[in-house]
Amino acid sequence: MAIVAFLLGVITIFTPHANGITAIIGVILASISLSNEQKKEMQNVAITGLVLCIIGFFIPFAMFLLVLSGSKDPDREAEKKSAIYEVIPIYASTDREEILVVNFNKMGKETIQRWCEQNKVKCEIKEEYSDEISEGSFVRQEPEANTKMVEGGEITVVYSLGKVPTEYKEALKKAEFYTSKMHLSKKRIFTRLTAKDDGNFSESAAQYAADRLEVDWNANALAKAKFYQNTMNMSREAIYQQLISRHGENFTKAEAQYAIDHLED
Protein backbone atom coordinates (compact mmCIF):
# COMPACT_ATOMS: atom_id res chain seq x y z
CA MET A 1 0.00 0.00 0.00
CA ALA A 2 2.91 2.34 0.73
CA ILE A 3 4.35 1.64 -2.70
CA VAL A 4 1.00 2.37 -4.36
CA ALA A 5 0.77 5.70 -2.49
CA PHE A 6 4.31 6.54 -3.63
CA LEU A 7 3.49 5.76 -7.26
CA LEU A 8 0.33 7.88 -7.12
CA GLY A 9 2.42 10.73 -5.74
CA VAL A 10 4.87 10.41 -8.65
CA ILE A 11 1.95 10.41 -11.09
CA THR A 12 0.44 13.62 -9.65
CA ILE A 13 3.81 15.38 -9.82
CA PHE A 14 5.00 14.39 -13.28
CA THR A 15 1.78 13.78 -15.18
CA PRO A 16 0.23 17.05 -16.42
CA HIS A 17 -3.30 15.62 -16.76
CA ALA A 18 -3.47 13.90 -13.38
CA ASN A 19 -6.41 15.27 -11.40
CA GLY A 20 -6.92 16.04 -7.75
CA ILE A 21 -8.73 12.75 -7.10
CA THR A 22 -5.51 10.85 -7.82
CA ALA A 23 -3.69 12.93 -5.26
CA ILE A 24 -6.46 12.48 -2.65
CA ILE A 25 -6.42 8.69 -3.11
CA GLY A 26 -2.64 8.71 -2.70
CA VAL A 27 -2.94 10.72 0.53
CA ILE A 28 -5.52 8.26 1.93
CA LEU A 29 -3.41 5.20 1.05
CA ALA A 30 -0.27 6.78 2.49
CA SER A 31 -2.09 7.62 5.73
CA ILE A 32 -3.45 4.03 6.08
CA SER A 33 -0.01 2.61 5.35
CA LEU A 34 1.60 4.77 8.02
CA SER A 35 -0.90 3.61 10.63
CA ASN A 36 -0.52 -0.11 9.77
CA GLU A 37 3.01 -0.50 8.44
CA GLN A 38 5.60 -1.62 11.00
CA LYS A 39 8.73 -1.60 8.83
CA LYS A 40 10.66 1.65 8.91
CA GLU A 41 11.61 1.40 5.23
CA MET A 42 7.99 1.14 4.14
CA GLN A 43 7.00 3.99 6.46
CA ASN A 44 9.57 6.21 4.72
CA VAL A 45 8.09 5.20 1.34
CA ALA A 46 4.60 6.06 2.62
CA ILE A 47 5.76 9.44 3.94
CA THR A 48 7.41 10.27 0.60
CA GLY A 49 4.25 9.28 -1.24
CA LEU A 50 2.15 11.44 1.11
CA VAL A 51 4.35 14.50 0.48
CA LEU A 52 4.33 13.99 -3.29
CA CYS A 53 0.54 13.64 -3.36
CA ILE A 54 0.05 16.84 -1.35
CA ILE A 55 2.40 18.77 -3.62
CA GLY A 56 0.77 17.31 -6.73
CA PHE A 57 -2.67 18.28 -5.42
CA PHE A 58 -1.73 21.98 -5.35
CA ILE A 59 0.22 22.11 -8.62
CA PRO A 60 -2.88 22.63 -10.84
CA PHE A 61 -4.02 25.54 -8.70
CA ALA A 62 -0.59 27.17 -8.92
CA MET A 63 -0.53 26.76 -12.69
CA PHE A 64 -4.03 28.25 -12.98
CA LEU A 65 -3.03 31.36 -11.00
CA LEU A 66 0.13 31.73 -13.09
CA VAL A 67 -1.83 31.61 -16.34
CA LEU A 68 -4.40 34.03 -14.95
CA SER A 69 -1.77 36.60 -13.98
CA GLY A 70 -0.03 36.28 -17.33
CA SER A 71 -3.22 36.90 -19.27
CA LYS A 72 -3.49 40.56 -18.22
CA ASP A 73 -3.12 43.17 -20.94
CA PRO A 74 0.40 44.60 -20.57
CA ASP A 75 -0.66 47.91 -22.14
CA ARG A 76 -3.48 48.22 -19.63
CA GLU A 77 -1.13 47.45 -16.74
CA ALA A 78 1.38 50.04 -17.95
CA GLU A 79 -1.44 52.57 -18.19
CA LYS A 80 -2.44 51.86 -14.59
CA LYS A 81 1.13 52.22 -13.36
CA SER A 82 1.61 55.49 -15.20
CA ALA A 83 -1.63 56.78 -13.73
CA ILE A 84 -0.24 56.22 -10.24
CA TYR A 85 2.69 58.51 -10.93
CA GLU A 86 0.83 61.03 -13.06
CA VAL A 87 1.54 64.55 -11.89
CA ILE A 88 -1.55 66.67 -11.61
CA PRO A 89 -0.68 70.32 -12.25
CA ILE A 90 -1.85 72.78 -9.62
CA TYR A 91 -2.44 76.30 -10.75
CA ALA A 92 -2.23 78.99 -8.10
CA SER A 93 -4.84 81.61 -8.72
CA THR A 94 -4.45 85.15 -7.51
CA ASP A 95 -6.84 88.06 -7.38
CA ARG A 96 -4.08 90.61 -6.85
CA GLU A 97 -4.11 93.32 -9.45
CA GLU A 98 -1.07 94.60 -11.28
CA ILE A 99 -0.11 98.19 -10.46
CA LEU A 100 1.99 100.67 -12.40
CA VAL A 101 4.26 102.54 -9.97
CA VAL A 102 4.12 106.30 -10.41
CA ASN A 103 6.90 108.83 -9.99
CA PHE A 104 6.95 110.01 -6.35
CA ASN A 105 9.52 112.74 -6.99
CA LYS A 106 6.98 115.58 -6.92
CA MET A 107 4.70 114.11 -4.25
CA GLY A 108 4.68 114.90 -0.56
CA LYS A 109 5.06 112.18 2.05
CA GLU A 110 1.36 112.21 2.99
CA THR A 111 0.31 111.98 -0.65
CA ILE A 112 2.62 109.01 -1.15
CA GLN A 113 1.13 107.27 1.89
CA ARG A 114 -2.42 107.77 0.55
CA TRP A 115 -1.43 106.45 -2.88
CA CYS A 116 0.01 103.31 -1.29
CA GLU A 117 -3.13 102.76 0.80
CA GLN A 118 -5.40 103.19 -2.21
CA ASN A 119 -3.36 100.71 -4.25
CA LYS A 120 -2.97 98.26 -1.36
CA VAL A 121 0.83 98.27 -1.22
CA LYS A 122 3.16 98.76 1.72
CA CYS A 123 5.09 102.00 1.89
CA GLU A 124 8.28 102.72 3.82
CA ILE A 125 9.68 106.25 3.90
CA LYS A 126 13.33 106.54 4.90
CA GLU A 127 15.80 109.37 5.37
CA GLU A 128 19.53 109.41 4.79
CA TYR A 129 22.33 111.95 4.55
CA SER A 130 23.45 113.26 1.18
CA ASP A 131 26.06 115.86 0.33
CA GLU A 132 24.55 116.33 -3.12
CA ILE A 133 20.82 116.60 -2.34
CA SER A 134 19.41 119.25 -0.06
CA GLU A 135 17.60 118.41 3.16
CA GLY A 136 14.00 117.27 2.73
CA SER A 137 14.35 116.61 -1.01
CA PHE A 138 13.51 113.37 -2.78
CA VAL A 139 16.49 111.01 -3.24
CA ARG A 140 15.16 107.81 -4.84
CA GLN A 141 12.38 105.23 -4.85
CA GLU A 142 12.35 101.45 -5.12
CA PRO A 143 10.92 100.17 -7.37
CA GLU A 144 11.45 102.90 -9.88
CA ALA A 145 8.65 104.79 -11.63
CA ASN A 146 6.78 102.98 -14.46
CA THR A 147 7.65 99.62 -12.91
CA LYS A 148 4.83 97.07 -12.57
CA MET A 149 4.10 95.44 -9.23
CA VAL A 150 1.18 93.60 -7.59
CA GLU A 151 -0.97 94.41 -4.59
CA GLY A 152 0.74 93.61 -1.30
CA GLY A 153 4.16 94.61 -2.59
CA GLU A 154 6.44 97.12 -0.87
CA ILE A 155 7.65 100.53 -1.99
CA THR A 156 10.56 102.39 -0.40
CA VAL A 157 10.93 106.14 -0.77
CA VAL A 158 14.10 107.91 0.47
CA TYR A 159 14.42 111.60 1.38
CA SER A 160 17.58 113.55 2.13
CA LEU A 161 18.63 114.62 5.62
CA GLY A 162 21.03 117.11 4.07
CA LYS A 163 24.79 117.12 4.21
CA VAL A 164 26.57 114.51 6.29
CA PRO A 165 27.65 116.06 9.64
CA THR A 166 31.37 116.41 10.17
CA GLU A 167 31.21 114.10 13.21
CA TYR A 168 29.71 111.35 11.07
CA LYS A 169 32.45 111.70 8.46
CA GLU A 170 35.13 111.52 11.14
CA ALA A 171 33.49 108.48 12.68
CA LEU A 172 33.48 106.76 9.28
CA LYS A 173 37.21 107.46 8.80
CA LYS A 174 37.95 106.03 12.24
CA ALA A 175 35.81 102.97 11.53
CA GLU A 176 37.66 102.37 8.26
CA PHE A 177 40.94 102.44 10.18
CA TYR A 178 39.62 99.89 12.71
CA THR A 179 38.57 97.46 10.04
CA SER A 180 41.56 97.79 7.70
CA LYS A 181 44.32 97.79 10.32
CA MET A 182 42.78 95.94 13.26
CA HIS A 183 40.24 93.63 11.52
CA LEU A 184 37.52 94.37 14.08
CA SER A 185 33.92 93.14 13.92
CA LYS A 186 31.04 95.52 13.23
CA LYS A 187 29.85 95.45 16.85
CA ARG A 188 33.38 95.88 18.13
CA ILE A 189 33.86 98.93 15.89
CA PHE A 190 30.66 100.47 17.25
CA THR A 191 31.87 99.88 20.81
CA ARG A 192 35.27 101.47 20.10
CA LEU A 193 33.70 104.47 18.37
CA THR A 194 31.36 105.24 21.27
CA ALA A 195 33.87 104.55 24.07
CA LYS A 196 34.80 107.73 25.98
CA ASP A 197 38.44 106.70 26.21
CA ASP A 198 38.60 105.87 22.49
CA GLY A 199 36.50 107.37 19.67
CA ASN A 200 34.03 109.19 21.93
CA PHE A 201 31.55 109.64 19.08
CA SER A 202 27.79 109.81 19.50
CA GLU A 203 25.86 106.59 18.99
CA SER A 204 24.17 107.98 15.88
CA ALA A 205 27.57 108.86 14.34
CA ALA A 206 28.97 105.44 15.27
CA GLN A 207 25.96 103.66 13.76
CA TYR A 208 26.21 105.75 10.60
CA ALA A 209 29.86 104.77 10.22
CA ALA A 210 29.32 101.07 10.97
CA ASP A 211 26.43 100.81 8.51
CA ARG A 212 28.42 102.37 5.66
CA LEU A 213 31.53 100.23 5.91
CA GLU A 214 32.11 98.08 2.86
CA VAL A 215 33.79 95.19 4.62
CA ASP A 216 34.03 91.42 4.25
CA TRP A 217 33.32 90.59 7.91
CA ASN A 218 34.15 86.92 7.31
CA ALA A 219 37.63 87.97 6.20
CA ASN A 220 38.06 90.08 9.32
CA ALA A 221 37.03 87.17 11.52
CA LEU A 222 39.48 84.89 9.72
CA ALA A 223 42.32 87.39 10.16
CA LYS A 224 41.62 87.54 13.90
CA ALA A 225 41.39 83.76 14.15
CA LYS A 226 44.78 83.30 12.47
CA PHE A 227 46.29 85.88 14.82
CA TYR A 228 45.13 83.88 17.85
CA GLN A 229 46.30 80.63 16.27
CA ASN A 230 49.78 81.85 15.32
CA THR A 231 50.65 84.08 18.28
CA MET A 232 48.80 82.48 21.18
CA ASN A 233 48.60 78.81 20.06
CA MET A 234 44.91 78.64 20.97
CA SER A 235 42.69 75.65 20.12
CA ARG A 236 39.91 75.96 17.53
CA GLU A 237 37.25 75.91 20.23
CA ALA A 238 39.04 78.58 22.26
CA ILE A 239 39.43 80.75 19.15
CA TYR A 240 35.74 80.35 18.30
CA GLN A 241 34.68 81.37 21.81
CA GLN A 242 37.00 84.38 21.71
CA LEU A 243 35.58 85.47 18.35
CA ILE A 244 31.93 85.43 19.49
CA SER A 245 32.47 86.67 23.06
CA ARG A 246 30.93 90.06 23.95
CA HIS A 247 34.12 90.80 25.87
CA GLY A 248 36.25 89.50 23.01
CA GLU A 249 35.87 90.18 19.30
CA ASN A 250 32.05 90.12 19.17
CA PHE A 251 31.73 88.60 15.70
CA THR A 252 28.52 86.81 14.74
CA LYS A 253 28.44 83.02 15.12
CA ALA A 254 28.32 82.62 11.33
CA GLU A 255 31.39 84.82 10.87
CA ALA A 256 33.27 82.98 13.62
CA GLN A 257 32.40 79.59 12.14
CA TYR A 258 33.60 80.73 8.72
CA ALA A 259 36.92 81.68 10.29
CA ILE A 260 37.29 78.31 12.01
CA ASP A 261 36.43 76.44 8.82
CA HIS A 262 39.09 78.33 6.83
CA LEU A 263 41.94 78.43 9.32
CA GLU A 264 44.07 76.13 7.19
CA ASP A 265 43.45 77.97 3.91
In a domain, 92, yes or no: no
Query: Which of 160, 183, 199 is the last residue before a domain boundary?
Result: 160
Q: How many domains, in total, are found in the chain?
A: 3
Cβ neighbours for 117, distance < 8 A, ≥ 6 positions apart: 123
Indicate the pTM of the whole model: 0.54
In a domain, 177, yes or no: yes
Question: Does one domain contain both 179 and 248?
Answer: yes
User: Do β-strands 154-160 and 122-128 pair in parallel, antiparallel, or remain unpaired?
Assistant: parallel
**Mean pLDDT over residues 112-125, rounded?**
94
- Contact in structure between 189 and 179 (CB atoms under 8 Å): yes
Confidence of residue 89 (pLDDT cuts 50, 70, 90): very low
Question: Does one domain contain both 117 and 102?
Answer: yes
Looking at residue 6, its pLDDT comes to 53
pLDDT of 44 over the 70 cut: no
- Which amino acid appears at position 249 of this protein? E
Domain carrying residue 137: 98-160
Confidence of residue 83 (pLDDT cuts 50, 70, 90): very low
pLDDT tens, 139-154?
A: 999 999 999 999 999 9
In a domain, 128, yes or no: yes
**Mean pLDDT over residues 155-170, rounded?**
96
Question: Does one domain contain both 102 and 118?
Answer: yes
In a domain, 87, yes or no: no
Higher pLDDT residue, 3 or 80?
A: 3
Question: Does one domain contain both 53 and 133?
Answer: no
Looking at residue 84, its pLDDT comes to 42
In a domain, 90, yes or no: no
In a domain, 243, yes or no: yes
Torsion sign, CA atoms 109, 112, 114, 117: negative
Residue 139: closest CA among 116, 110, 112, 162: 162
CATH number, domain at 118? 3.30.10.20
